Structure 1
Amino acid sequence: MASALSAALIPENVPLRSGPPTREELLVHYPAKFTWEQLKTFVNSGDLGLLKRDKKLQTRYDTWSAGIRKEYGSMVNYLLTYRLQWGKPDALALIPSILNPSHDVTARIKQSEQNGTVAQDAATQPGLSRLPADASAYFDAGISPELISIIMNDWPYSVPPEIEHTLIWTRVPIYPPTLPPSIEKRLLQDGLWGFTGTLTPPPSPDTLSDCLPALADWGVTIDKLVRSPPDTEEEQAMIDGVGKEVDTFIRRRWIEEEWETAWFVNPPRLQSVPGLAHIHVFARHKSPEEIEEWNSKRAN
């Protein structure tokens, strides 16, 4: 069965389309450039700009997004009138998730190809309704489902095939209204990140130089990194406090016994859709052996 599936995943059997790719297209035409350890190293490096999309897939995205902006007026309008369905499961993704078992890819491809027809009526479709009076001022672990949209990233970074790249879009800001002055500049330049479901510390930023060859296609070198000086223990504690609600939410959705994640919030300088806050989550489902090890060590 596995060998038959592998034989089917060849370029001749997986034609390239336009628009968001399917999982099969990613596997055949845009194979992952990064390992899971490298991804975690990039997240923990202090420069989230190291996280990249396959260059050929980026070109495809640029072509698609230009068409979307022409049809909808802006990427924000596309998201608000079509892609984001607040409080509902992701019914439009072409890439499946283990957490969303009902997944008819053929039907979703057909819907995606009809996107132009949908766009003609975009002006009459609802955007964002007024926030409820009791809505949180910013993202918290118990946020109402109506205030978020959890979707698969239609244009994932160059992640291994076993890694799910999910986006948590939120109608309220992720950062609190006010930030401690001593860490505000750092958060606005570097963003937030964290790790869940692991029994070992994340890769040290000191190991980044070993991972840079994987970024050769993008011409990344140590001297081009954008990151702040190391935080003091007090500053790191405050940063952890700012990210606590996001971290708790992720631990609840991606149960640590079953999942390992690396999550991050891009700083403003790296946000692809200004004006809409979102959280990136790289999630890896654990093997039965890892789950057994997790439960064993947590019990001791």
Structure 2
Amino acid sequence: MPESASPALPFWLVNVPQDQWPTECPDFLRDLGDKDRRIIGSPDSDYTRLAWPQVKGIVESGQVDRFHRVPSDLRRYRQFTFGLVQEYGSIMNFIVNERLQWKELKPKGAPFEYPEDIKILYNDWPYGIDEDIAHLVIWTKFELEEDAVTGRITPKIAKEIDDYVRKTFAARINPDHLIWFSNWRALKSVHAVEHFHVMLYRADAAFLKEITNGDIPMSAKVA
């Protein structure tokens, strides 16, 4: 008679060394939705990072909801953001005061008119993509106008973003290795500070250091 299958692990024990298993589900994982539970409960070994052609295809088709993190990275992200809320009161407070270090959020001028209204940083917790892809977040003090019905940015602001991205990045990287997108309202993890995403494939390390002012993502800083 064949051996009976081992019972499936609770999602909160997957990808955790057995000698580090908690006795119960950690607080930072208790209130997750079904999607995050499913991802965190999947072995990292089953995950394949998205290659550049796949990343471009997802963005160009507008299916950015298909991006998600490697399971163990999503677990770390949830633990980190849970701690931020305990320490700073909200993720927004941490972003504004620690990452952006902006004293106030009022823009100096019209969209993309003043560099002081923009900051380029790494995405602290990037998606599960090829590690040759740099995932940047462009934070802005000015509004990225959205359609009230769809929650997506308007064609006018999309054109302004595209012009900015081309001017800022295209001279230093193969245009085929550059893409940007803005999450629609329902997908944004930080709502109070405007931002959009830029992905660069095989960008020069010196250029990345220059454009981010030497930034290091939080995922590389925390254990």
Q: TM-score, normalised by structure 1?
A: 0.48
Matches within 5 A, 1:45-194: 45-85=61-101, 127-128=103-104, 130-132=106-108, 135-136=109-110, 139-140=111-112, 143-175=113-145, 185-186=149-150, 188=151, 191=152
Judged with a 3 Å threshold, the aligned counterparts in structure 2 of structure 1 residues 129 and 270 are, in CA distance, closer, same or farther, namely closer
Distance 2:97 2:48 in 1: 31
- Tell me the amino acid that sits aligned with residue 133 of structure 2: I
Deviations 1:179-202 (A, max 9, x none): 5xxxx534x1xx35xxxxxxxxxx
- Tell me the amino acid that sits aligned with residue 185 of structure 1: V
Deviations 1:52-90 (A, max 9, x none): 11121011000011001110000000011111145xxxx
Match of 2:186 among 241, 259, 269: 269
Shift of 1:42: 1.0
Greater relative contact order, per chain length (Cα 8 Å cut-off, separation 6+) = 1
Aligned residues: 158
Do the aligned partners of 2:106 and 2:142 also contact (CA within 8 Å) in 1?
no
Once the two structures are aligned, what percentage of the paired residues are identical? 29
Judged with a 3 Å threshold, the aligned counterparts in structure 2 of structure 1 residues 129 and 44 are, in CA distance, closer, same or farther, namely closer
Q: Which runs of 4+ in 1 moved over 3 A?
A: 29-32, 129-132
- Tell me the amino acid that sits aligned with residue 181 of structure 2: F
Shift of 1:131: 3.9
Q: TM-score, normalised by structure 2?
A: 0.63
Shift of 1:43: 1.0
Distance 2:197 2:203 in 1: 19
Do the aligned partners of 1:43 and 1:51 also contact (CA within 8 Å) in 2?
no
Distance 1:285 1:54 in 2: 20
What is the DSSP-based 3-state SS (H/G/I as helix, E as strand, rest coil) of the residue aligned with 2:135? strand
Judged with a 3 Å threshold, the aligned counterparts in structure 2 of structure 1 residues 272 and 129 are, in CA distance, closer, same or farther, namely closer
Distance 1:64 1:175 in 2: 30
Do the aligned partners of 2:52 and 2:130 also contact (CA within 8 Å) in 1?
yes
Do the aligned partners of 2:134 and 2:203 also contact (CA within 8 Å) in 1?
no
Judged with a 3 Å threshold, the aligned counterparts in structure 2 of structure 1 residues 271 and 255 are, in CA distance, closer, same or farther, namely same
Do the aligned partners of 2:65 and 2:187 also contact (CA within 8 Å) in 1?
yes
Distance 2:144 2:160 in 1: 9
Judged with a 3 Å threshold, the aligned counterparts in structure 2 of structure 1 residues 129 and 279 are, in CA distance, closer, same or farther, namely closer
Indicate the RMSD between aligned Cα atoms, in angstroms.
Answer: 2.5
